Amino acid sequence: MASAESRRTDSVRDIFELFGAINRAVHEAKDPKLSATADSLIPGLMANPNWYDEIEGRYFPDDRRTEPNATRALSGIAAYDAAEDTGRLTRSQKARLLYGISVLGRLKSEVPNSLPDFDESKEDCGAALDGSLAAIAPTSVEALSQRQESAKNERSDFLALVSSEFNHPKDFAKVLQAEPVLAIRDNQELHAPLCQTAVVPVDGYQSVIVDTKFTSEKISLEQLKSIVNPFNWDEDYAELFVAMQAQTPELLPDGWRRVLETVRLIGDKTLRTPLKFFPSMTGELEAQMNYDLDMTNFDAGDKQVRVDRGFINMKVRNETNDPAQGGVRVVTRKVVHIAGISAFAQARLVCIGGYGTASADFLLGSAGKNAAKQLENPKPFDFPANEKQAGADAAQSPATPQATVPVPAATAITHFVPAAVDAWTECAQELTNGYFDVAQKWVSGSLSLTDLADYTTRLSGELASSPFKYLQAMTTPRSPGQPGRTK
């Protein structure tokens, strides 16, 4: 019998396969209308047909799924949710699963014959669809029969909804709040951000920018601060973070802390990356956790990750401005390059695999756990605050000794990409959405000269104004030793 851990890995792979099946069906159909719709829902899909084969070949070379199948993927997810010893999907995994199913439903309505392995009228596909929709139910719905019954009752209404209302990524927010989804979720909204991605060159590497934004009315800033230190990440989110190991010394001359991170994205392969991090406060109502690749300790890692920087910004959001009361807004950003994988495949890997949204997963879950005293000895927000504290911890948990060299304080240029990427992402998404509006009208034969003129005007305006947005973002003053922050 497969272990719970292996089935957890399989569930991540099944979600990958779901998107791989979409990719395969769209490219094999060679239908302009279907291609335009698919690319509007998964931007970049048509220009990067080999991303799924690339990931399968790298992480499962001896057991490649060369022909991704939607029914098989959904059946695997349904089996995972039904097993008693596996736990449940994380919030972000549920969101990605629901997004994939929504894309399938939308494409099926566009060109009914385009997805032969996604036919709800067939018994095996219908059962797989019901079981996978049941997997998005909240963890509070413990009875499997209740989850599956709700999914079965709402399946038709859900597919009808996405067939007509789901045309762009921004429409997914309405899908999450729609009655069929709320019914499956026992009237609890699914608060889980999806990845917003862009690809930009950083230090000579094509790197993926992953942004998430989310709020919580229940979790407080103080709760987030109690678990957000990187030394807690392997306990916060053990499904992804295998280990967070201390390094010697733990404090760098510029005040940044050091840690060796090991993560498992999919399969048995891991990434081992030396990081440095810097916790800071802006008054009493806002906290930041910035991190970057620790090049002074690069040999301690496996050298697969060549760019790894970002931040977690947490701000009080309640009527009393009380950091101890529920109500917080969180903005996260991760900039990453993994060697040997194309940029678009990296984007799919970090989003679907959870690397890019891990902070959202563990912040939403572990802060509440710590309030209930379920985490063991979490490290405080600013740990280690000094060498004495670091040394005391090292005596309890021996560090991996590494030779170090002096490191200069961070500068504005060092971290310009995280600061500027909001402007870039906003521009790229606006132009992409506009392009597909035009493309859809063209393939349907309804494109007019007025439509073309309007899009040309928008395009010219964005291209003219964007350099000034980037310049402003890159030259915004920063505190010494900290990366750029988002507002």
- Number of Cβ within a 10 Å radius of residue 271: 19
Residues 220/323, Cβ–Cβ less than 8 Å: yes
- What pLDDT, on a 0 to 100 scale, did the predictor assign at position 470? 45
Residues 384/399, Cβ–Cβ less than 8 Å: no
In a domain, 240, yes or no: yes
In a domain, 362, yes or no: yes
Do 289 and 337 sit in the same domain of this protein? yes
The number of folded domains in the chain is: 3
Query: How far apart are the C-alpha atoms of 455 and 479, rounded to whole Å?
Result: 40
Do 171 and 232 sit in the same domain of this protein? no
pLDDT means over runs of 10, the chain (487 residues): 51 93 93 92 87 93 93 95 86 90 94 82 91 94 94 96 93 93 91 76 91 87 93 86 93 95 88 97 96 96 96 96 95 92 88 74 66 72 82 50 37 41 49 49 54 53 47 39 40
In a domain, 189, yes or no: no
- Number of Cβ within a 10 Å radius of residue 339: 12
Ramachandran quadrant class, 340 (left: phi over 0; alpha: psi -120 to 50; beta: rest):
left
- What pLDDT, on a 0 to 100 scale, did the predictor assign at position 355? 72
Do 453 and 401 sit in the same domain of this protein? no
Beta-strand (E) ranges in 156-298? Answer: 196-202, 205-220, 241-251, 257-264, 270-282, 286-293
Do 392 and 421 sit in the same domain of this protein? no
The dihedrals phi and psi of 154, each to the nearest 5 degrees, come to -100, -5
Residues 257/389, Cβ–Cβ less than 8 Å: no
Name the helix (H) or strand (E) containing 110. helix 91-110
Do 110 and 179 sit in the same domain of this protein? yes
Do 256 and 401 sit in the same domain of this protein? yes
Cis peptide before 249 (omega within 30 of 0): yes
- What pLDDT, on a 0 to 100 scale, did the predictor assign at position 394? 52
In a domain, 479, yes or no: no
Do 289 and 304 sit in the same domain of this protein? yes
Query: How far apart are the C-alpha atoms of 133 and 149, rounded to whole Å?
Result: 10
Residue at 7: amino acid letter: R
CA distances from 217 to 252, 253, 364, 390 (A): 36, 38, 11, 34
In a domain, 191, yes or no: no
Do 164 and 272 sit in the same domain of this protein? no
CA distances from 372 to 146, 223, 365 (A): 27, 10, 11
- What pLDDT, on a 0 to 100 scale, did the predictor assign at position 53? 95
Of 408, 436, 463, the residue that ends a domain is: 408
Do 280 and 400 sit in the same domain of this protein? yes
Of 424, 458, 459, 474, residue with least CA distance to 197: 424
CATH number of the domain encompassing residue 320: 3.30.530.20
Task: Measure CA 222 to chain center.
Answer: 24
Task: Tell me the sheet residues that pair with 202.
Answer: 205
Do 93 and 67 sit in the same domain of this protein? yes
Q: Which residues contact 425 (CB under 8 A, 6 or more apart)?
A: 196, 198, 209, 211
- What pLDDT, on a 0 to 100 scale, did the predictor assign at position 365? 67
Q: By residue range, what is the domain housing residue 38? A: 4-184
Query: How far apart are the C-alpha atoms of 22 and 338, rounded to whole Å?
Result: 24
- What pLDDT, on a 0 to 100 scale, did the predictor assign at position 411? 37
Place of tokens 């995994």: 93
Task: Tell me the sheet residues that pair with 329.
Answer: 215, 315
- What pLDDT, on a 0 to 100 scale, did the predictor assign at position 363? 77
Residues 365/90, Cβ–Cβ less than 8 Å: yes
Query: How far apart are the C-alpha atoms of 169 and 167, rounded to whole Å?
Result: 7
SS3 244: strand
Name the helix (H) or strand (E) containing 330. strand 326-338
Of 132, 156, 184, the residue that ends a domain is: 184
Q: Which residues contact 333 (CB under 8 A, 6 or more apart)?
A: 209, 210, 211, 212, 310, 311, 418, 421, 486
Give the DSSP letter of residue 86. S
Do 285 and 180 sit in the same domain of this protein? no
Residues 80/10, Cβ–Cβ less than 8 Å: yes
CA quadruple 417, 421, 424, 425: dihedral positive or negative? positive
Of 184, 205, 226, the residue that ends a domain is: 184
Of 269, 220, 255, 254, residue with least CA distance to 55: 269
In a domain, 484, yes or no: no
Do 404 and 460 sit in the same domain of this protein? no
Of 192, 158, 481, 205, residue with least CA distance to 359: 192
In a domain, 222, yes or no: yes
- What pLDDT, on a 0 to 100 scale, did the predictor assign at position 235? 86
In a domain, 212, yes or no: yes
Query: How far apart are the C-alpha atoms of 16 and 24, rounded to whole Å?
Result: 12
Residue 204 structure tokens: 């000579």
The dihedrals phi and psi of 187, each to the nearest 5 degrees, come to 65, 25
Query: How far apart are the C-alpha atoms of 108 and 99, rounded to whole Å?
Result: 14
